[in-house]
Amino acid sequence: MPYLTAAVVLVGLLGVFNLLLTLRLARTMRERGDGHGDHGHGGMNAGPPVALGPGKSPAAFTAVTTAGESVSDTDLVGVVAFFSAGCDPCHKLAPSVAEHARSADRASVLAVVSGEDDALVDALAPFTRVVVEDFDGPVSTAFRNDWTPALYLLGPDHRIVATGGRLHDLPLETTV
C-alpha cells in the first residue's frame, strides 16, 4: 500500500510540474510576441514562417481585385499582405498597411484577404488593391502562404526582398 500511495503522489507532482512548465511556456510566448499576433515569433526571427523567402519569386498567377483590376505575378512590385477573416492581428495590421499604401502608391500594395471579412476589405480597398480569395486561392498558392498576417516585399525584378509579420520588418525604403 505505501508503494501505491507514493506512486499516486509522484504522478500528481509530475502533473503539477507539467502544468507549471506549460503555463511558463505560454507566458514566454505571449511576452516574446509584440502584441501584434505574430504568434510568438519575436526578436531576430520576427514574422511568420514562410515558404518563399528572399530571392525567390512567386509562381505564376492571375487574380481580379475587388475593383475589377487584373493583377498577376508579373506586375507585382512592393508589398503583398495576406490577411484572413476573423484574424485579430490582421485587423490591427490593416490600418498601417492602408496608411503605407496611401503614402506610397496604391499599385505598390496588394492585400489578399482569405475568407469573408467585409471590415478588412473596407479598411484596405480605398488605398490598396485587394484580392478576396479562398485560403487556397491563386495568390496564396503562388506565394505558398498559409499564415496570416504575412507580408512580402517584392523588388523591381518581382523577387522577394524580405518577409515579415509587421511593416517595420520590411526594408520599405529599398524598393518604394
Shared domain for 24 and 88, answered yes or no, is no
Together in a domain, 122 and 62:
yes
Kindly report, residue by residue over 77-136, the tens digit of the pLDDT: 999 999 999 899 999 999 999 999 999 888 999 999 999 999 999 999 999 999 999 989
Identity of residue 122: D
Range of the domain at 121: 45-174
The answer to whether 83 and 93 have CB atoms below 8 angstroms apart is yes
Instruction: Clarify whether residues 97 and 149 are in a common domain.
Output: yes
**26/60 same-domain check:** no
Report the distance separating Cα 174 and Cα 42, nearest Å: 23
Q: Are residues 60 and 137 in the same domain?
A: yes
Rounded Cα distance, 44 and 169, in Å: 10
12 CB-near residues (< 8 Å, 6+ apart): none
pTM of the model: 0.71
Nine cell digits for residue 47:
514574422
Q: For 135-164, what is each residue's pLDDT tens digit?
A: 899 999 999 998 899 999 999 999 999 999
142 near 61, Cβ under 8 Å? yes
Domain co-membership, 103 together with 139 = yes
pLDDT band with cut points at 50, 70 and 90 for residue 48: low
Rounded distance, CA 108 to CA 145, Å?
19
Domain containing residue 137: CATH number: 3.40.30.10
Res 45: pLDDT: 44
**Which residues, in sequence order, are CB contacts of 94 under 8 Å at separation 6+?**
83, 111, 120, 123, 124
**Is residue 134 located within the same domain as residue 166?**
yes
